[in-house]
Amino acid sequence: MTISKHCSFELPTWVGPFVDNWQESLVTISQRMQLAVALSEENVRQQTGGPFGAVVVNEETGQLVSVGVNMVTKVGLSMAHAEIVALSLAQVAVEEWDLSQSGALQLVTSCEPCAMCFGAVPWSGVKSLICGARKKDAEAAGFDEGDKPDHWVRSLQRRGIVVQCSVLKAEAAAVLAHYGENGGAIYNADHGHGKR
């Protein structure tokens, strides 16, 4: 038996030019969410993964640190969610596993985190979390978001992480709905409570 010594992934080739051509500044939370939602939508259009996008920015300056798109089906890794990808690439970019050591960094994600990504938020060191669509929007598209505390926002706030939900919710939820209605791959639909 040979044990693999590497596990890595690269963003789809379209992501770099897409972000480079992004005209909006990232000063406001809405502008940051526009980019996260646009990434989720383009990821579906390019057929490189699920309908989720995320960005990590400096919450004070709006400087972009990293981006992520869902790549579960593309790379065959169940953990390749947009948030995990964005946080991992941010840690590589700043050369620090604890993002709190690089200033006040913010995770902006097109949908509130699933159970796995919720767990990653406090360990990453981000100071704030901004979410677009909600759990029920992802579940309406067919995704199993897993179990997390009912009061997950308060749980993060107790750890000093500022949370704001439903930013551009309608736009973010529309990407999920379009994906589900058009037969996009719904991974893990039979886990937990099954496909909804």
> Residues 85-98: pLDDT tens digits?
999 999 999 999 99
Report how far residue 164's alpha carbon sits from residue 15's, in angstroms, rounded to the nearest whole number.
26
pLDDT score of 22 more than 60: yes
Which pair of structure tokens corresponds to residue 22? 């992004």
- Give buried/exposed letters for 75-84 (b at 16+ CB in 10 A, else e): beeeebbbbb
Q: What is the pLDDT of residue 159?
A: 96
Residue 23 binned pLDDT confidence (cut-offs 50, 70, 90): confident
Residue 9: φ, ψ to 5°: -150, 155
Residues taking part in catalysis: 83
Q: What is the pTM (predicted TM-score) of this model?
A: 0.93
Angle of helix 82-94 versus helix 115-124 axis, rounded to 10: 20
Say yes or no to pLDDT of 193 above 50: no
pLDDT band with cut points at 50, 70 and 90 for residue 194: very low
Distances (CA, A) of 124 to 13, 37, 65: 25, 22, 14
